[in-house]
A and B are shown apart, each in its own frame.
Chain A
């Protein structure tokens, strides 16, 4: 029984006499909507806290990698820095260039963060700890990652600035190219599980497997190493992070698609980038690193979400690590890698996985 189920059972079992509560008990549909909204608010709160501390972690790690301290003035270890950043962003002057398309210019930053939040709703953080478990969960993620292109393209186009436009168009081409390899790299996992539901995918990774006699946790990273590698590379490209940060390459394009943005609109783009990192790492953890599962039973079921966050932290660290160590790709190298290496390799890996699954099928 999941936490949510327990919570709703507790709520429905309460001897409430308030008319609103009585009405809710009698009407399951609105009760469902309200309960889901509460879940969303809770997950949103956790998510945004994690995102703001991701920014802090990035600055801290970057500082250490460059022999600096990073933020250490606001609070102990600079832990209140995210708060200070948000306050600063809110109080900055909001400027809008004269000849922009105002509506599109304003909705683009919102579009940057919404897809990341929506696709996080299908990620099971712990046993039963997901906003929803739909039977097309993985497709929800792929759909939302394809919607994510709009923020950058529209932001770049609406700014009416050549650097922004080039950044936006670069990003559109980049995200479309890498989305293919990303989608195909997940097919191997789907083949092994036989379901698109994220909870089923995690459950399939519990326990131990033996690879050439070697006992390993049943995580798909061990059976699908190539797919995991491709997924991570494309994840870098999808989130516009170094070494694929061509859309905002500061040495060529000023700041790329968000050149003209300021104040909280810039803040939303910023938040959107880090939300995308968290979401895509959460998906990678779910697909390849076994979600909340751990090979040993060290924790009771209600605390297993800790493993999820441990794995998430490792992957997020890899993202930050890569950003501060790797140089940027050139545009033609980026396209070559996407179309001539990742796509054929992921297709070949799908064929290989399919053959293995077919051979092992009981007949």
Chain B
């Protein structure tokens, strides 16, 4: 049953990956990528990497792809307009490069190759998660600690980049993009009308670039 499931998950993985690349609507692309990641998690579980499979769903499908969707929705992207000679050229080059990569892979796999000496069979009484944890905190302790540093740097970097530089004249009028969509005290979503206010939007609400009357 395991090979059959493997073939099924692989087919799902490859088809949805192709649709990620081929579909013109970025939201649909992102959703097919979620399907692809879940299929990949299934393959990991078939390969007795249960922890990695579950982390695949938690990290990729649950966090990374939600971030992608969030950004696509925030930027309100529609289907990509793709026409003109440049697109045809780009497609030609892309598929040619893809064909070359596949040909290389097939050549490599068809040739004579063997993997190195396999270690002794793993102790089945120790769970996958436990074994990975022990390994992470012994052999790979230093990379593990460095990973936390990488994540910290990325977090700080993402905040700095998306916040923009304060005081720069070109920066966008609303300081945090989230506040716009969440609607908490944001003028663009729910302009507050006090008694005595006119219905005409105030100059501060108008987007930057438009001159106020």
CA distance A331 to B50 in the complex (A): 37
Which residues on A sit within 8 Å (CB–CB) of B144? none
Task: Tell me whether A166 and B184 are in contact (CB under 8 A).
Answer: no
Asked, given contacts A29-B1, A135-B127, whether A165 binds B73 with beta carbons under 8 Å apart, the answer is: yes
Report which of A101, A143, A330, A331 forms a contact with B58, defined as CB distance below 8 A: A143
Task: Tell me whether A135 and B129 are in contact (CB under 8 A).
Answer: yes
Q: Is A112 an interface residue (CB 8 A)?
A: no
Q: Is A147 an interface residue (CB 8 A)?
A: yes
Asked, given contacts A135-B128, A172-B70, A176-B66, whether A142 binds B58 with beta carbons under 8 Å apart, the answer is: yes
Segment among A11-19, A149-157, A304-312 that sits at the interface with chain B: A149-157
Q: Of residues 269 to 289 in A, which have CB atoms within 8 Å of B's CB atoms?
A: none
Task: Tell me whether A166 and B63 are in contact (CB under 8 A).
Answer: no
Asked, given contacts A195-B127, A331-B184, whether A146 binds B189 with beta carbons under 8 Å apart, the answer is: no
How many chain A residues touch B (CB < 8 A): the figure is 34
Task: Tell me whether B182 and A173 are in contact (CB under 8 A).
Answer: yes
Q: Is B57 an interface residue (CB 8 A)?
A: yes
Task: Tell me whether B62 and A147 are in contact (CB under 8 A).
Answer: yes
Q: Please give me the residue from chain B that is nearest to A176 by CB atom.
A: B66
Asked, given contacts A135-B128, A153-B66, whether A143 binds B184 with beta carbons under 8 Å apart, the answer is: no
Which residues on A sit within 8 Å (CB–CB) of B28? 104
Which residues on A sit within 8 Å (CB–CB) of B181? 165-166, 169-170
Task: Tell me whether B66 and A172 are in contact (CB under 8 A).
Answer: yes
Which residues on A sit within 8 Å (CB–CB) of B74? 169
Which residues on A sit within 8 Å (CB–CB) of B127? 135, 195-196
Asked, given contacts A172-B66, A172-B70, whether A166 binds B54 with beta carbons under 8 Å apart, the answer is: no
Task: Tell me whether B61 and A146 are in contact (CB under 8 A).
Answer: yes
Which residues on B sit within 8 Å (CB–CB) of A172? 66, 69-70
Q: Please give me the residue from chain B that is nearest to A142 by CB atom.
A: B58
Task: Tell me whether B1 and A104 are in contact (CB under 8 A).
Answer: no
How many chain B residues touch A (CB < 8 A): the figure is 32
CA distance A194 to B129 in the complex (A): 10
Which residues on B sit within 8 Å (CB–CB) of A146? 57-58, 61-63, 66
Q: Please give me the residue from chain B that is nearest to A145 by CB atom.
A: B62
Q: Of residues 327 to 357 in A, which have CB atoms within 8 Å of B's CB atoms?
A: 330-332
Which residues on B sit within 8 Å (CB–CB) of A196? 127, 129
Give the distance to chain B from A169, nearest Cβ to Cβ, in Å.
5
Asked, given contacts A136-B54, A143-B58, A166-B183, whether A173 binds B178 with beta carbons under 8 Å apart, the answer is: yes
Task: Tell me whether B183 and A150 are in contact (CB under 8 A).
Answer: no
Q: Is the interface of B mostly helix, strand, loop or mixed?
A: helix
- Greatest chain B CB density within 10 A among A29, A139, A143, A195 is at A143
Q: Please give me the residue from chain B that is nearest to A330 by CB atom.
A: B184
CA distance A165 to B55 in the complex (A): 29
Q: Is the interface of A mostly helix, strand, loop or mixed?
A: helix
Asked, given contacts A135-B128, A136-B54, A142-B58, whether A157 binds B27 with beta carbons under 8 Å apart, the answer is: yes
Give the distance to chain A from B186, nearest Cβ to Cβ, in Å.
10
Task: Tell me whether B63 and A157 are in contact (CB under 8 A).
Answer: no
Report which of A134, A149, A170 forms a contact with B62, defined as CB distance below 8 A: A149
Which residues on A sit within 8 Å (CB–CB) of B54? 136, 139-140, 142-143
Task: Tell me whether A166 and B189 are in contact (CB under 8 A).
Answer: yes
Q: Of residues 152 to 210 in B, which have CB atoms within 8 Å of A's CB atoms?
A: 178, 181-185, 189-190
CA distance A179 to B66 in the complex (A): 13
Which residues on A sit within 8 Å (CB–CB) of B50? 134-136, 139
Q: Is A5 an interface residue (CB 8 A)?
A: no
CA distance A195 to B133 in the complex (A): 12
B: residues with CB less than 8 A from A are 1, 27-28, 31, 34, 50-51, 53-55, 57-58, 61-63, 66, 69-70, 73-74, 127-130, 178, 181-185, 189-190
Could you show 20 A-B contacts with beta carbons less than 8 Å apart? A135-B127, A136-B129, A139-B129, A143-B57, A146-B57, A146-B61, A146-B63, A147-B62, A153-B66, A154-B69, A165-B73, A165-B181, A166-B183, A169-B70, A169-B74, A176-B66, A195-B127, A196-B129, A331-B184, A332-B185
Q: Beyond A172-B66, A176-B63, list 13 extra A-B contacts (CB 8 Å).
A: A136-B53, A136-B129, A139-B51, A139-B129, A143-B58, A146-B61, A149-B66, A153-B70, A169-B70, A170-B183, A196-B127, A252-B190, A331-B183
